[in-house]
Amino acid sequence: MSTPASGRLPARRFDLAVFDLDGTLADSFAFFVTCHNRLARRHRFRPVAGHEMEMLRGWNPRRIMRHTGLPAWRLPWVARDFRRLMQEEGQAIACFPGVRDALHDLHARGVRLALVTSNSEANGRRILGEDVWGLLAHMECGASLFGKARRLRRVLARTGVAAVRAVYVGDPTSDAEAARQAGMAFAAVAWGYASAAALQACQPDVWLQDVADLQGLAG
């Protein structure tokens, strides 16, 4: 996967790095695919075929919801059931290789770390491990897919870091929207749920091609 022209490696130091969980720190896409059609049957939206998954990686969440007939009002219940399934059956989900070391390195170099995720605290704590969880200056769990901007503003208020000195690291295009609404930079990761083309269209401030690039957020 080539580096999008609109993205780049960090050219400056960030005082605060806020992370999404699924697809950014946690390698949970395969589990998401497995659960999708189970949840579709339960909540009466359209299941997707295996050959559609790569296409859907290039779409933003709103377009995916229209494609599957998932109404916005039902999304909180779907997200709740996904979190529950992950807690009950997602014991094998772990961080991407190198993520935990990168977070320890960023913390050691003075970058404050935080988490804003639509997943639950229990799942986040288990996946990240108690050692990484203890590095986080603030956690916002259970966020709505389209309500992360409010959570990001809360992280800024709780940590006292100016938005211009903070970056939100994520991979769905909705994360880019949330970061911009909160006045923060957005760092797109190449290894997550969304395709490179979809992320390129968001014009990320920072493009992280490899997990090792996370350490560049310290400048």
pTM for the complete prediction? 0.88
Cα angle at 124 between 77 and 3, to 5 degrees? Answer: 95
DSSP tag of 118: S
Domain range 16-27+93-218, CATH class: alpha beta
Cβ contacts of residue 165 below 8 Å, gap of 6+? 14, 15, 16
Whether the Cβ atoms of residue 155 and residue 173 lie closer than 8 Å to each other:
no
- Alpha-carbon gap, residue 113 to 161, rounded angstroms: 11
Task: Please list, in sequence order, all residues whose beta carbon lies within 8 angstroms of the beta carbon of residue 82, skipping any fewer than 6 positions away.
Answer: 32, 35, 39
Distances (CA, A) of 115 to 20, 150, 195: 6, 13, 22
Please, are residues 143 and 22 in contact by the beta-carbon 8 Å criterion? no
Instruction: Give pLDDT tens digits along the chain (219 positions).
Output: 334 444 455 557 899 999 999 999 999 888 888 888 888 888 888 888 778 877 777 777 788 788 888 888 888 888 888 888 888 888 889 999 999 999 999 999 999 999 999 999 999 999 999 999 999 999 999 988 788 999 999 999 999 999 999 999 998 788 999 999 999 999 999 998 888 888 888 899 999 999 999 999 998
